[in-house]
């Protein structure tokens, strides 16, 4: 099929654009200088993220389709964490000119399919030549007339609960780093997270006082809620969901491993949570995060930590 360099910038854009389905929220999609996205609420939730080859993904560990799914998922999940409905992605794609055209097309297939899962679409972006593959993804969302869920609303007495799988992506990464090829379920979890996209609007309907996407580890991310809200979060490790497949290091993966893109939030103590939400702790006066009354294990993702 040739390379993206042989296709040329405009030829590549034309080929990739044809792989992107329309979305009701995208009034004017790729093809002009900018897209037009409907914003019925009058406000737009916006987030952006960078994925750099060798830092966020490896082509010998993940194929282009999975990389596309993951790039979309981690940004769409941030919109959901605000209690919003995802509407569109803008994607900047940089790659060496010798990259196979089919590789780029499969990447965009992954982006498009993940958007379908969340009810959004890829509305546009840019492609350029670069020494290594880099993706710059901006996600947009609509609040539907509601107030955004933030990290700063947790109050003493609230219940801490999670929704979605935890620890699987971290365990899968450890397997790949160790040269192992299974369990396949864990490696697949690293390659392609599965955020529960209905979690944001559901949490808001339940009266959540705070919410975030668990991308850098449960303890580290709950620490963001604790800091923003001026409270302490107490985690009960016996209540934390640890799947048997995670093995003997399961609790560590759940507490400190990221990239599953589950959701963690706080709820008033009198709220009856559905079974999709798992209570794992409480909010108290104080600072920081404690696990079983003690300082938590170190871990969590930090791009600049050596």
Cα–Cα distance measured from residue 304 to residue 143, given in angstroms and rounded to the nearest whole number: 33
- Structure tokens, 54: 């060798």
Q: Is 125 part of any known ligand binding site? A: yes
Cα–Cα distance measured from residue 118 to residue 107, given in angstroms and rounded to the nearest whole number: 17
- Structure tokens, 251: 């609790």
Cα–Cα distance measured from residue 14 to residue 5, given in angstroms and rounded to the nearest whole number: 14
Residue that is written with structure tokens 């605000």 in the block: 82
Q: Is 202 part of any known ligand binding site? A: no
Q: Is 261 part of any known ligand binding site? A: no
Closest C-alpha to 255, from 210, 302, 205, 289: 289
Q: Is 259 part of any known ligand binding site? A: yes
Q: Is 151 part of any known ligand binding site? A: yes
The string of DSSP codes covering 116-145 is HHHT-EEEEEEEEE-SS-EEEEEEEEE-TT
Q: Is 49 part of any known ligand binding site? A: yes
Q: Is 301 part of any known ligand binding site? A: yes
Q: Is 78 part of any known ligand binding site? A: yes
Q: Is 126 part of any known ligand binding site? A: yes
Q: Is 109 part of any known ligand binding site? A: no
Q: Is 197 part of any known ligand binding site? A: no
Closest C-alpha to 124, from 110, 113, 112: 112
Q: Is 138 part of any known ligand binding site? A: no
Q: Is 60 part of any known ligand binding site? A: no
Cα–Cα distance measured from residue 56 to residue 62, given in angstroms and rounded to the nearest whole number: 11
Closest C-alpha to 89, from 20, 32, 143, 145: 20
- Structure tokens, 82: 């605000």
- Binding site, residues? 33, 47-49, 56, 78, 108, 125-126, 151, 213, 215-216, 259, 301
- Binding site for ATP, residues? 108, 125-126, 151, 215
- Binding site for substrate, residues? 56, 259, 301
- Binding site for Mg(2+), residues? 33, 47-49, 78, 126, 213, 216
């Amino acid at each position: 099929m040739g390379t993206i360099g042989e296709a040329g910038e405009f030829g590549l854009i034309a080929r990739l654009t044809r792989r992107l389905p329309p979305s009701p929220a995208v009034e004017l999609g790729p093809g002009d200088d900018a897209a037009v996205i409907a914003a019925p609420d009058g406000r737009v939730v916006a987030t952006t993220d960078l994925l750099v080859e060798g830092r966020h993904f490896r082509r010998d560990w993940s194929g282009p389709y999975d990389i596309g799914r993951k790039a979309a998922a981690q940004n769409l999940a941030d919109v959901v964490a605000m209690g919003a409905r995802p509407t569109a992605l803008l994607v900047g794609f940089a790659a060496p000119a010798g990259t196979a055209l089919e590789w780029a097309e499969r990447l965009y297939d992954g982006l498009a399919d993940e958007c379908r899962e969340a009810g959004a679409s890829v509305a546009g972006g840019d492609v350029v030549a670069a020494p290594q593959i880099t993706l710059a993804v901006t996600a947009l969302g609509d609040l539907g007339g509601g107030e955004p869920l933030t990290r700063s609303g947790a109050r003493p007495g609230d219940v801490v609960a999670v929704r979605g799988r935890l620890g699987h992506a971290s365990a899968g990464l450890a397997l790949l780093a160790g040269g192992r090829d299974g369990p396949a379920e864990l490696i697949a979890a690293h390659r392609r997270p599965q955020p529960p996209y209905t979690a944001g609007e559901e949490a808001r309907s339940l009266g959540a006082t705070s919410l975030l996407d668990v991308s850098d580890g449960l303890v580290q991310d709950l620490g963001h809620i604790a800091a923003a809200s001026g409270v302490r979060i107490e985690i009960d490790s016996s209540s934390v969901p640890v799947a048997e497949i995670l093995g003997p290091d399961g609790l560590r993966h759940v507490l400190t491993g990221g990239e599953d893109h589950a959701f963690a939030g706080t709820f008033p103590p009198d709220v009856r949570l559905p079974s999709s939400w798992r209570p794992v702790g409480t909010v108290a006066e104080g600072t920081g995060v404690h696990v079983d009354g003690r300082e938590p294990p170190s871990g969590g993702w930090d791009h600049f930590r050596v």
